[in-house]
């Protein structure tokens, strides 16, 4: 069933369109995906975008570790659009193909890097158990530091917000992307 | 195990403490709990606060629905500290005591308000199955509108961030406060 249509520039007010263009400038040219749903509330979109930009570019969390959290989040919420949209960034950040593939299927990845493992375990344990074991917390703090743990949880949760928008409102995946979580 | 120590207000540098005091003015008035952790990354805290401040003033949704989403997020993530802070606000916003108690006990509440039922079903399905059925989506859009639906997903997502910080870093209910989820 078609759910919520993405807002198109022609349907936006002048101020919505200006905001959409400002956001799109930083994200691949056209406002798309969950941002084309958020734009229904302009003030919320503007501040969500500022928060999201900081989480993407301003924190102490290394890109590679942030991308592990983002992909695990897309996988948990079955957010096809997010998975497709984040592939290029994940590769740029240096995530090995087998790790990406294991996150996609949900099989326990074989880790080459203890920090990768600490972040993956933190996020997936949170999603699965809504609780974090002592050893998992200790490994995360060792990998990221205390500031980094707080920042990483913000990253995972911010992408959770976008993933819930994608799943609930039926944001379609990127044209030509094959389904990552079907079946 | 003690996890991340909450930085006390007087331990922050003056500008961060001033920022923290501004942030908590509408959030219970004391720098503590998840915001004490957020303030380890001051710019992040500032952006997260600016975004979530809008939940009070800029949403098209009635407050009972906002608070229902908040307590469901805190229940799902087992964040007792957040529950203790937010359950009284849910009651004050008009969510019935019976519904609050049922959510706490992980039972299905009965609602007299169709919009509350729609919100409850939306988040039960999202948290339980990471997907939303067509019927539940339709009821949610009918109750909230497209804009309101996107808004409430933002509320739930943000409180998922707060809750995950509470759970991962070990923010406990304050001394003397109830342990709402003790089994």
Q: What is the pLDDT of residues B72-119, one digit of tens each?
A: 999 999 999 999 999 999 999 999 999 999 999 999 999 999 999 999
State chain B's mean pLDDT as an integer.
97
In a domain, A76, yes or no: yes
**Mean pLDDT for the stretch of residues A125-133:** 98
Residues A84 and A159 in one domain: yes
**A125 lies within 8 A of chain B by CB:** no
CA distances from B163 to A68, A100, B73, B95, B167 (A): 20, 27, 7, 20, 6
**What is chain A's mean pLDDT, rounded?**
95
Instruction: State the average pLDDT over residues B19-43.
Output: 97
Whether the pTM exceeds 0.95: the reply is: yes
Burial-class residue B100 by CB neighbours within 10 Å (0-12, 13-18, 19+).
buried
pLDDT-derived band at A28, boundaries 50, 70, 90: low
Size of interface A-B (CB pairs under 8 A): 152
Q: Categorize the per-residue pLDDT at A182 as very low, low, confident or very high, splitting at 50, 70 and 90.
A: confident
Q: Choose, out of B164, B166, B167, B169, the residue to mutate when testing the contact with A (most A CBs < 10 Å).
A: B164
**Structural domain span for residue A26:** 9-57
ipTM over 0.95: yes
| Residue range B16-22: mean pLDDT, rounded | 98
What pLDDT, on the 0 to 100 scale, is given for residue B1? 57
Distance CA A136, CA B144 (A): 39
Task: Kindly state the tokens that stand for A130.
Answer: 């809504």
Residue A1 has pLDDT above 70, yes or no: no
| Residue A72 and residue A23 in one domain | no
Which fold would CATH assign to domain B63-169? AhpD-like (1.20.1290)
Residue B52, class by beta-carbon neighbours within 10 Å (0-12 exposed, 13-18 middle, 19+ buried)? buried
- A52 and A70 inside one domain: no
CB–CB contact B137 A168 (8 Å): yes
Q: How far is A82 from chain B (nearest CA, A)?
A: 14
Instruction: Kindly indicate the confidence band of residue B2, based on its pLDDT and cuts at 50, 70 and 90.
Output: confident
Check CB contact under 8 Å for B149 and A169: yes
What's the domain count of chain A? 2
């Amino acid at each position: 069933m078609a759910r919520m249509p993405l807002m198109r520039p022609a349907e936006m007010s002048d101020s919505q369109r200006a905001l959409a263009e400002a956001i799109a400038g930083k994200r691949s040219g056209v406002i798309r995906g969950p941002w084309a749903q958020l734009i229904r509330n302009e003030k919320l979109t503007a501040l969500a975008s500022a928060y999201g930009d900081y989480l993407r570019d301003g924190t102490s969390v290394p890109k590679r570790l942030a991308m592990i959290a983002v992909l695990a989040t897309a996988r948990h919420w079955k957010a096809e659009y997010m998975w497709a949209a984040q592939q290029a960034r994940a590769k740029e950040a240096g995530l090995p193909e087998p790790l990406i593939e294991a996150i996609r299927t949900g099989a326990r990845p074989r880790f080459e890097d203890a920090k990768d493992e600490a972040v993956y375990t933190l996020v997936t344990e949170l999603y699965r158990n809504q609780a974090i074991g002592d050893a998992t917390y200790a490994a995360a703090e060792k990998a990221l530091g205390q500031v980094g743990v707080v920042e990483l949880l913000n990253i995972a949760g911010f992408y959770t917000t976008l993933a819930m928008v994608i799943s609930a409102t039926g944001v379609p995946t990127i044209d030509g992307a094959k389904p990552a979580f079907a079946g | 195990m003690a996890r991340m120590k909450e930085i006390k207000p007087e331990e922050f540098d003056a500008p961060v403490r001033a920022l923290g005091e501004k942030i908590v003015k509408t959030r219970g008035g004391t720098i503590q709990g998840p915001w004490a952790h957020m303030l380890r990354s001051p710019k992040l805290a500032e952006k997260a606060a600016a975004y979530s401040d809008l939940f009070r003033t800029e949403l098209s949704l009635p407050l009972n629905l906002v608070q229902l989403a908040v307590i469901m997020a805190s229940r799902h993530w087992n964040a007792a500290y957040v529950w203790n802070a937010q359950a009284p606000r849910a009651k004050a916003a008009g969510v019935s005591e019976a519904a609050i108690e049922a959510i706490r006990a992980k039972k299905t509440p009965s609602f007299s308000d169709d919009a509350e039922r729609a919100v409850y079903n939306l988040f039960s399905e999202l948290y339980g199955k990471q997907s939303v059925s067509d019927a539940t989506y339709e009821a949610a859009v009918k109750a909230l509108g497209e804009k309101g639906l996107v808004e409430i997903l933002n509320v739930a997502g943000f409180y998922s961030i707060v809750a995950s910080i509470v759970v991962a870093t070990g923010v406990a209910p304050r001394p003397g406060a109830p342990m709402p989820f003790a089994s």
